[in-house]
Structure 1
Amino acid sequence: MKKSLFALAALGTFAGAAHAQSSVTLYGIVDAGFVYANNIGGNKLYEPSAGNLQGDRWGLRGTEDLGGGLKALFVLENGFNAFTGKLGQGGDEFGRQAYVGLSSQYGTVTLGRQYDSVVDYTGAFEVGSQWASFYAAHPGDLDNMNNSNRVNNSIKYASANYSGLTFGGLYSLGGVAGQFNRNQIFSAGLGYAQGPLVLGAGYFNVKNPNFSFFGNNSTSSTTASNMTGSTVYSGYASAKTQQVITAAGAYTFGAATVGATYSNTQFKDLGQTVGTGLNPHGLSGNAKFHNAELNFKYQLTPALLLGAAYDYTKGYGVNDAKYHQGVLGADYFLSKRTDLYFDAIYQHASGTDSTDHAAVADINGLSPSSTSNQVAAVVGIRHKF
């Protein structure tokens, strides 16, 4: 249940701005469970795992009616770990989102730390953002469809809904004196929803991704690699540009939904971003990936959802790594706000990865396997308020 707090006076820090046409909503998600992996560097893993289906969070969302169809709005959203209470997103207080803006019949313009257009228009189609956990995201979340990275210093536009068609874009200023293009980010996307059919497409282009996109938290390094999360891309921290193109769709018939996603991710001009140890293997040229996912979910009963998905990633350019990934899952709703879930993920890797070694299985959110195969299972409970 969301708690609407009117007149802002209930929040002492905003008391001076309170009036009858304003509202603030407190909301959040607490998601906690346990994960098992059969091979983490040659050893089995059993550990608590938080934010599995959705990241743990609490936030404040507010609007003010300015008259004439114009509204002011803001969102402040904090991420945390339910098991430890530790802040997420590198320790940033509002690391998930923080923005303010204006909305009218012509759309919405916001300023702050925000999601890119790939997340906005295609992220919801992949299973890692649906009934499966973040462990089921595309390997390394290399296309950011699972929203691993946010965008700082951004200006964003989201259109109104025109008979099911929506579109938008984002631009982030790099903030480097004398180097206008350094660290800049821009993205665009569009979506269409009509009856049982939903479609989306997204694009983003990131200059110096190691520092601008992966290194966008208060604890990020300003000289060394911030792209250490996965062997799928960790060798490409010296790339001058990261480019991602995505397309996705879903069709619902009765209790079943079939969905698909495609992304092309490129780390361009390797060796062109300078820093400490960013290019230990002396790579040059471009590292590229095709990724395709096919997913299916079925509402077996009003309370029980079953799902299955297959994902294929193919590297080309300076690498030839391949990753096959299968996912099975179930989500049981005790109420509209509380559910229990289970997911199992299998991944097989082959070829040569970004570290210039034989590719090993590296399920998103886990450390790499010592072999080409890795299996993980997660079970937990999620509550929304």
Structure 2
Amino acid sequence: MKKSLFAVAAMSAVAGAAQAQSSVTVYGILDVGFINSNSSVTASAAPNTPALGANGYSINYPGNGTYANGNLKQTQSVLGQSAEQTSRLGFKGTEDLGGGTSAFFTAEFTLAPNEQTLSGNATGGLKNRQTFVGLKKNGMGDFAVGTQYTPIHVAMAKTDAGQQNNLTGSAIYTGQADSGVVGGVGGNQNAYTTRVSNALTLNSDVVAGFQGHALAILNNNNASSITGGSNNAPASGIATGGMTNTNGWGLGLDYTWNKLFVTANYQALKQLTSTTNYNSYNGGTGTGGSVSAAQLFANASSTIATGMTATGSPVNIQDNQTYVAATYDFGILKAYANWVSRKANDTANASIYQKRQAEQIGVRSFVTPNIEGWATAGVGTFTPYGVNQNSAHFNAWQLGSNYWLSKRTNLYAIYGQYAQATTAYNVYSTSGTATTGQSNMNVSNFALGVRHTF
């Protein structure tokens, strides 16, 4: 009897220990406050229709409408959200599997504090920020599968003096879409791809100060192509099937030595569609069309492209991105230096591409035990339409401060500016007559708010 009682007690103790080795954490951020935004675009010889182009640039391809000088201004003041950091709700957990091996998961979603319903009536619901599951082996590293941040975005989080806030003023990180403020226009959009789905990531343990990172993306779909018309087939002139393949890879390497941190990262994303039903750059439909050069970055970021019926995914794009950065902690302040480059090609027409390059420096420091401040300044160039087309030069700067009420709650004030000027370009009337033009853009954001983490 005593042996049976001892056996039951031992089994209960083992079960209790196993449960204690598994944990789930609920976490999140709520960020709300006052946001003021101003933007202006002035252009000579700009088309009135379409206004100033899909991304704030004057479009230099033939189209409908008359052409004249253009001036677009927009001002917004709102008690808004997510100025310093995107509001979110997340769940993460780990389970000890024994032998130095553990399982882990994360499921994280965007929150919109000003939406009227939990699912969101304007933002489309709880948008997936990252959701993945993986395994970790002590002494080796970990791997995970799911929707995840790219190596460049993870490296940027470690090396951004502004800590990836959503206001204008950074030449490297451009996250205005999360806050909905005015300013996500022109060459300051889409410096790199933030997250990808259908992804496998690998992270090594730190060895002699070095840590490696890798990314692989796989989402391929190949089917027979049908172009005819009959009772059992699509209507004549509509193409279906074919190849819709999305692949990518990335590598990153971090090095830490005392107070110095250096990171270098590269990622290449490619999508090929051989047959689909979308409008090409030249306005046709059917097989193997190319995309509008003005939309290459938007497509590569999985955003709907103007004039295309295919939505939500990139089409025929090779997208190469590089990020190099370093930080050094001087004690009284931390210094930052960043460089990013991105080139997206239309695979159906190699002469059409977009290229963006920028460099930035910054500092961050605690002025008092409760007051933290930062400053960043950067410059860059943007080529929106390809070879022998108009390019743009831009600069951006930002000042910000946090007043920490506790470890989880802070008040913040952030101000940022972005300015851009294009080189001379041609716009065309419907008759094909070319007129030389130039455009300039100025954007500023200001925010006062409160952020709470839990």
Residue 80 of structure 1: which of 108, 111, 125 is its match? 111
Alpha-carbon separation, structure 1, partners of 2:352 and 2:307: 24
Q: In structure 2, what is the equivalent of residue 13 of structure 1?
A: none
Name which of 124, 127, 130 aligns with 1:97. Answer: 130
Q: Distance in 2 between matches of 1:353 and 1:381?
A: 43
Aligned pair partner of 2:301 in 214, 224, 228: 214
Q: After superposition, what is the alpha-carbon deviation per residue over 1:96-117, rounded to whole angstroms, capped at 9, x for unaligned? A: 1110110012111111000111
Kindly tell me: are residues 142 and 300 of structure 1, through their superposed partners in 2, closer, same or farther at Cα, counting changes over 3 Å? Answer: same
Contact 1:39 1:45 in 2 (8 A): no
Aligned pair 1:290/2:357, yes or no?
yes
Q: Is the 8 A contact 1:149 1:213 kept in 2?
A: no
C-alpha contact 2:170 2:376 (8 A) present in aligned 1: no
* Residue identity opposite 2:22 in structure 1: S
2:190 is aligned to: 142
Q: Which amino acid aligns with 1:30?
A: L
Question: How far did 1:201 drift?
Answer: 1.3
* 1:335 aligned partner: 406
Structure 2 residue aligned with 1:34? 34
* Match in the other structure for 1:107: 141
Shift of 1:297: 1.7
Contact 2:341 / 2:355 at 8 angstroms: preserved in 1? yes
| Cα distance in 2 between the residues matched to 1:246 and 1:121 | 8
Decide which structure has the larger Cα Rg and report it.
Answer: 2
Verify: 1:163 aligned to 2:163, yes or no.
no
The answer on 1:203 being equivalent to 2:290 is no
- Indicate how the Cα distance of structure 1 residues 205 and 123 shifts in structure 2: closer, same or farther if over 3 A, else same: farther
Partner of 1:14: none
Are residues 73 and 37 of structure 1, via their aligned partners in 2, closer, same or farther at CA, if it must alter by over 3 Å? same
Residue 245 of structure 1 corresponds to which residue in structure 2?
Answer: 322
More displaced stretch, 32-41 vs 343-352: 32-41
Q: Measure the CA separation in 1 of the matches of 2:132 and 2:307.
A: 24
Q: Give the counterpart letter for 1:42 in structure 2.
A: K
CA deviation after TM superposition for structure 1 residue 90, in Å: 6.0
| Corresponding residue number in structure 2 for 1:152 | 197
1:137 CA displacement: 3.7
Distance of 2:35 and 2:300 partners within structure 1: 28
Cα drift, residue 122 of structure 1: 3.1
Contact map agreement 1:122 1:247 (CA 8 A) in 2:
no
* RMSD, matched Cα: 3.3
Gaps of 5+ in 1: 1-17, 228-236, 273-282, 361-370
Return the alpha-carbon distance in structure 2 between the equivalents of residues 287 and 159 of structure 1: 33
Equivalent residue, structure 2, for 1:311? 378
Deviates more, 1:346-355 or 1:152-161: 346-355
Change (3 A) 1:143 1:39: closer
Q: CA deviation at 1:302?
A: 1.1
Partner of 2:450: 381
Which gives a bigger RCO, structure 1 or 2 (Cα 8 Å, sep 6+)? 2
Partner letter of residue 377 of structure 1? F
Letter in 1 for 2:39: N
Q: Scaled by the length of structure 1, what TM-score is found? A: 0.77
Partner of 1:300: 367
Give the total of aligned pairs: 333
| Structure with higher strand content | 2
Structure 2 partner of 1:62: 93
* Residue identity in the other structure for 2:392: A
Which consecutive unaligned segments of at least 5 residues does structure 2 have? Answer: 1-17, 41-71, 172-186, 224-241, 272-295, 428-435
Residue 54 of structure 1 aligns to a residue in which SS?
coil
2:342 paired residue number: 265
**TM-score normalised by structure 2 residue count:** 0.66
Separation in 2, partners of 1:238, 1:197: 40
Q: Secondary structure at the match of 1:124?
A: helix
